[in-house]
Amino acid sequence: MLAIAFAMPELIGEWHLTPLFVGLIIAASYAGQLVGAIFFGSLAEKIGRLGVLKITIVMFVTMSAACLFAWSGWSLLIIRFLQGIGIGAEVPVASAYINEFVGSKKRGRFFLLYEVIFPIGLMFAGIIGYFLVPEYGWKAMFWVGLIPPMIAAPLRWLMPESPRWLISQGRMADADRVVSSLEAEVIRSGGTLEEPVVKTFVSPPSSANGWRELFSGFYLKRTLMLWGLWVSAYLVNNGMITWLPTLYRSAFHLSIPLSLAYGWITSATGVVALIGLRITD
């Protein structure tokens, strides 16, 4: 999604895009993410995590391929909006999927690894853009961007459904099969299984408030805190990074290769910061 930052400096000249329209193209993907997160987040509770993840990866691959055939700013804006719906659904549902498979002791570490994928991917997108866009044009970014989701797509049909979701639906036998297959894989690979902690499962009382519950009781402070954190992160990180190559090109009149180089160097600093945090720990 953020790879558009490294294609935009060339698109501005080719399609004669104004700064306002560049902003609309960038914002279209985030508007799509909002729609995707709200709709598919609810749908994941009804049809399962895996069902939604299959839909979203197909949508994302299809719209990523469609970007290659964009012929104007408006066509790219619409495609980016549809692509945003796919990634907006992917991120929260994939996060829930990971959290429901990993034990509480390691859950934070695995979730952090999932989040680290984004700055690392952005850094490599910048490096690829620096070498390919000046030579092969802006479509090179989308060709390369198609490779990871096309590899990931078939794997979705090999993944098991979340046992926690299966239990929430009363499908105890299906959940037991998933957990048993995971335990058998651990044994085959020479690992050891810890003695399970048996707890009585008490079904939480159903709430008629739905999403309104997020803004009531002890959830209110947590909701506002998380919203504040993510809005701040997106404003500083995504807002800056998606615009930097374009600003280097249009405001500072740098060449396309130099604009892309400065862009990926900025992205690389985020990865260096994460490495520094790991070393500090």
Take residue 222 and report the two structure tokens written for it: 């947590």
Query: From the centroid of its chain, how far is CA 15?
Result: 28
- Describe the chain by its helix, strand, coil percentages, rounded to 5: 80, 0, 20
Q: Using the Cα atoms of residue 4, residue 116, residue 107 and residue 187 in order, give the sign of their dihedral.
A: positive
pTM exceeding the 0.85 threshold for the entire prediction: no
Could you tell me the fold of the domain covering 1-170?
Answer: Growth Hormone; Chain: A; (1.20.1250)
Give the relative orientation of helices 49-67 and 19-47 as an angle to the nearest 10 degrees.
160
pLDDT of residue 205: 58
**Where is average pLDDT lowest: 73-77, 239-243, 254-258?**
239-243
pLDDT number for residue 145: 85
Residue with more model confidence, 187 or 270? 187
pLDDT class of 281 with cuts at 50, 70, 90: low
d(CA 262, CA 241): 10
Give the highest mean pLDDT range of 75-79, 148-152, 236-240, 252-256.
75-79
Q: Is the pLDDT of residue 14 over 70?
A: yes
pLDDT in tens, 131-146: 888 888 889 888 988 8
Spatial distance between the Cα atoms of 193 and 182, rounded to a whole number of angstroms: 10
Tokens of 120: 């690392």
- How confident is the model over 195-204, as pLDDT tens digits? 777 766 565 5
Higher pLDDT, 275 or 260: 260
Picking from 88, 134, 58, the residue whose alpha carbon sits closest to that of residue 234 is 88
CB contact at 8 A, 141 and 3: yes
Average pLDDT, the chain: 84
pLDDT at 68 > cutoff 80: yes
Structure confidence at residue 212 (pLDDT): 79
What pLDDT, on a 0 to 100 scale, did the predictor assign at position 108?
A: 76
CB 225 within 8 Å of CB 203: no
Phi, psi at residue 195, to the nearest 5°? Answer: -65, 125
- For position 2, what pLDDT does the model report? 66
The yes-or-no verdict on residue 114 having pLDDT over 90 is no
Q: Tell me the percentage of the chain whose pLDDT exceeds 70.
A: 92
Structure tokens that stand for 255 in this block: 């060449």
Q: What is the DSSP letter of 237?
A: I
Of the ranges 86-95, 105-114, 118-127, the best mean pLDDT one = 86-95
Write down the pLDDT at residue 91. Answer: 87
Give residue 70's pLDDT.
94
Per residue in 204-217, pLDDT (tens digit) is: 555 555 677 888 88
DSSP string covering 96-155, please? HHHHHHS-TTTHHHHHHHHHHHHHHHHHHHHHHHHHHHHHH-THHHHHHHHHHHHHHHHH
